[in-house]
A and B are shown apart, each in its own frame.
Chain A
Amino acid sequence: MSLTPSQWAALLPLILPALGACLIPLMALDKDQTTAKWIRAVMYGTALLAVGASFWYLTDLWKTGAQPSFFQLRMDRLAQFTGIFVLVAAAMTILQSWDHFHQEGWVKGETLSLLLFSVTGMMLFASTNHFVVLFLGLELFSLPLYALVGTVRARPESAEGGMKYFLTGAVASSCFLMGGVLIYGLSGTLDLSAAAFTLKAQGLATDPLVLVGAALMLLGFLFKVSAVPFHQWTPDAYEASPHPIAGFMSVATKGVALIALLRIFGGSFAPLGNLGVKMQSVIAVLAVATLVVGNLTALVQTNVKRMLAYSSISHAGYLLLGFVAGTPAAYNGVLYYLVIYLAMNMGAFGLLTAVGLVGERTTFDDLRGLGWKRPAMGIAAAIFMLSLAGIPPMGGFYGKYMIFRELVATGHVGMAILGVLASLVSAYYYLRFLVALFLQAPSVEAERLASDRPEVHAPLAGATVLVCAAIVLAGGFLQTFLADGFARRALVDGLGLIR
């Protein structure tokens, strides 16, 4: 079978990381200790090259404005947006994990391979309307992540977290599958856009079975988004995994799940108007629950990673509020928020690696006084935390602003008030991070222990943190470029949502 150039163009961004993922295990076969260091460098280089080539190709594609497709794989603007989003997160994860594993102890090279497979799956997941392809993508990005969570086998929590994530994830996946099967059974087609038209034509738009099917699919998405009540895996999985992987999961999994949700429920299922309204009210209830539970639980955490996990749950709440408003401008806000959120969370998790807090040493007490010892990291941390809390002039404020604005415009003033109250609560625990960094001196014992440890050298992680800080600040001052030039065009050209 020969492919046309356009089909190649659609496939290539996925093939490149997959190719890298296949090459890396071959290198990992080498058991010679003397060459291990070099092999490792080559593996990381290959992974970066694969991600970089795909990124370069996608940005080129974005510039030309072409939207090629390969059968059910549609590399439209929204898919390109997702690809760029995921690849940036992956590149940062690779860079951070070099420094992270350098400190925590090296693990087998398959880690990188799994990460790249996951990246491929994510890009597939967010670029199709076809149910089977969607499910393939879901599994292709989830299964490597289950394994990645349990990467550090030396720690018992690691296996526990991975197992927990896997079991709950498997249930969610099967629910998702069941939902798709129900819709397929009633409509007779696996293409979800076509299914929506068929169902509408048959007058089955509000059939209970269709509702159940859509709800089960929604459950699958919300599990990946880690919305309450499907959030239980999040803190354990994040705590178990190495910091860069936790950062990657918090950003990329949530991001692609939301974008796929947008593509399916905002785009494909749009003809089933009534169903959308019903799903919107479900999302509204869950978004409120997510905001309340995520923020209140984050308040009482003593471990930074668990705090960040609950914070990521609460951010799922804000992002879902954009779906409650459900206007193109709100989706624009969601995509914009995701870009900033990528920088904030990759930055926050990378920060832990950069200041040398790996393994178990991730409590607030371990952070004490570090802002003064590492001023650049301290300032970056302040930028991330204030942005997560939504304080202007950081980028996070504009994300919330766009979403709340649409909520108010669509008459959801109560939800907007709840949203701002939630971010008020969140400000407290983000400030705790800054209190520990700047306002508390380390305890005498910690000082003594710190002087025994070797100096932390994490230049790659440090560099990603600074890049993230720059992105967050850019979100605050060049907001139109990101919101209109990037996020909005993905919506307009990709989904045909025009405002």
Chain B
Amino acid sequence: MTWLNSHPLTFLVFAPALLGLLILALPNTLGRLSRLLGFMGALAVLVLSLAWLLGHSGAGATTVAEQAPWFTLVGLPVDYALTVDGLNLWLVLLTTFLVPLTMLGTWESIKDRLGTFAAMFLLLETGMLGALMAQDLFFFYLFWEGMLIPMYFMIGIWGGDERRYAANKFFLYTLSGSLLWLVALLYLANKAGGFNPAVMSQAASALPFDVQCWLFIAFAVAFAIKVPLFPLHTWLPDAHVQAPTAGSVILAGVLLKLGGYGFIRFAIPMFPAAAMHYAKPLALLSVIAIVYGALVAMVQRDIKKLVAYSSVSHMGFVMLGLASFTVIGTQGAMLQMLNHGISTGALFLLVGMLYDRAHTRMIADFGGVAVKMPIFTTFFLIVTLSSIGLPLTNGFVGEFWILNGAFLSGFGWGRIYASVATSGVVLGAVYMLWMFKRVFWGPENKDADCGTHHLHTDLNAREIAVMLPIVVLILWMGIHPRTFVAVSEAPVVALLQDAKAPAIRTFVLKPAVHEAPAADTAAHDAAPGPGHETPAPAAHEVHR
């Protein structure tokens, strides 16, 4: 126990992988046992992560860290450094939450090689948790790349008809960004003499500005591929559509978040000046992603593809929030990452449940599903509304903060881009509700070959048990988002101060802290800003 007390993070990160390797060694005939074992393991990790990580956050200081020198190769020391702090606490919990939930939600979806699937899932969990917690860039890189391997096999073995193409595309696309990033990393590590982020950012600030810009671009491209930011998003629809349901959920729920997290954790703090310099192009690409993703989602005939493109749009909001360089925008981006993980993850789960019954995902094959599956329809409606961003659901808060941040950012482009991005919210409502109408409402599709015809059972107890915690979270995040952003406030403020964002851009959410920044902002035309960003439901009226 003493070892566990001093190494909680090591246990959380590597326990899933060890269990996964154990399951991999079990014979194929024990598939059902392996699946159960994998689920129990993931559940245990969730419980332990909640107990250990949230237990620490009671006092306000939330940092849990482990650090030790690991090895020195060719003169560059690499640290074994894992940290959970305000920036990644909720993403870590989102990961440990989604893994067992997805396992349960897709219990019957995988028919063959159950043990291998559970093992890949657990290895993937190790990769994701490691990447989220790693505080040494080399260590981070190991997880960032290593994560591709289980995901590759997940898509490639259990995916749809085009799975091999999609898996290869996913792997090579992501690899291309991270390999170029590796060169930038090595360049900077040479200047800094190590991979410690603090040392590296110090070394980065001493470099000429144009070198900083190049390095930032290398970092940004690697992370932007993962986000994915327009125009680097083309791997996403293929990977999402071909992946098995569980793969899609984790891909949308956690892997995409790692891109945004990479910006917040590494790219922006290490190159604040370059990041500010490129705020406009980043914001422009985000706005394009928001609108383009929404427009493309609108014309999709496959529900899963529609959700995939909606991911592009939603993750565009995250990037816009980051590019605004305001506390409210960045906090909105943090929240939006959690929102997207939960809402889109839930949508993929629901689409998977529909597909398991009907064996089709084409919108045209459905119609009148609401009559046949009322419980399913209820859940789908709640998640759809959360994805659209209806007030009282999580989607609203994140998008509102982000748009608010972009609008008040004080950048010349802020207001225009925020206005254009707002159309993404409207378009989001259009494509989601239109899809909902065609699938669930209207007369029942009587065609014998169509999907509705094959729907015989509504959700069973297991599936309801999967959806309930999601619905609870959707409402909780919509009504009291502070639970989820309180811990990240201090790090985000510190981050933006390091980035030397103008005073107007650093006002914070807490009413008590409004005073000081408000005085600075008086000169700006956005002075009434501070009143808007309170997360109280009253603000919803302003938005709509």
Q: Which residues does A use to contact B, with CB under 8 Å?
A: 329, 332-333, 372, 379, 382, 386, 391-393, 397-398, 401-402, 404-406, 408-409, 413, 416-417, 420-421, 423-424, 427-428, 431, 435, 438-440, 479-480, 483, 499
Contacts and interface: CB of A to CB of B under 8 A. Distances in A.
Given A405-B186, A483-B73, 15 more contacts: A382-B149, A391-B146, A391-B148, A392-B145, A393-B146, A402-B73, A404-B186, A405-B74, A416-B186, A427-B171, A431-B168, A431-B172, A435-B156, A435-B164, A480-B71
B163 interface: yes
Contacts of B180: 417, 420-421
Contacts of B156: 435, 438-439
B183 A439 contact: no
A427 B148 CA distance: 12
B18 interface: no
A404 B157 contact: no
Nearest to B72: A480
B378 interface: no
B186 A439 contact: no
* Most chain B beta carbons < 10 A, residue from A402, A424, A428: A424
B142 A393 contact: yes
Interface string B247-266: 00000000000000000000
Given A420-B180, A431-B171, A401 B164 contact: no
Contacts of B475: none
B527 interface: no
Interface of B: 24, 71-76, 113, 141-142, 145-146, 148-149, 152-153, 156-157, 163-164, 167-168, 171-172, 175-176, 179-180, 182-183, 186-187, 189-190
Given A391-B145, A427-B171, A420 B153 contact: no
Contacts of B74: 329, 332-333, 402, 405-406, 483
B199 to A, nearest CB: 16
27 contacts: A333-B74, A391-B175, A393-B146, A398-B73, A402-B74, A405-B76, A408-B183, A408-B187, A408-B190, A416-B186, A420-B180, A420-B183, A423-B179, A424-B175, A424-B176, A427-B172, A428-B172, A431-B172, A438-B153, A438-B156, A439-B156, A439-B157, A439-B167, A440-B164, A479-B71, A480-B72, A483-B74
Contacts of A409: 186, 190
Given A423-B179, A424-B176, A479 B164 contact: no
A408 B164 contact: no
* Most chain B beta carbons < 10 A, residue from A397, A420, A479, A480: A420
Contacts of B146: 391-393
A409 B172 CA distance: 27
Contacts of B142: 392-393
A401 B185 CA distance: 11
B58 to A, nearest CB: 36
* Most chain A beta carbons < 10 A, residue from B73, B74, B157, B163: B74
* Most chain B beta carbons < 10 A, residue from A333, A386, A409: A409
Contacts of A397: 145
A386 B186 contact: no
B24 to A, nearest CB: 8
A408 B164 CA distance: 35
A435 B183 contact: no
Given A392-B142, A435-B156, A435-B168, A404 B75 contact: no
B191 to A, nearest CB: 10
A427 B164 CA distance: 14
Contacts of B163: 439
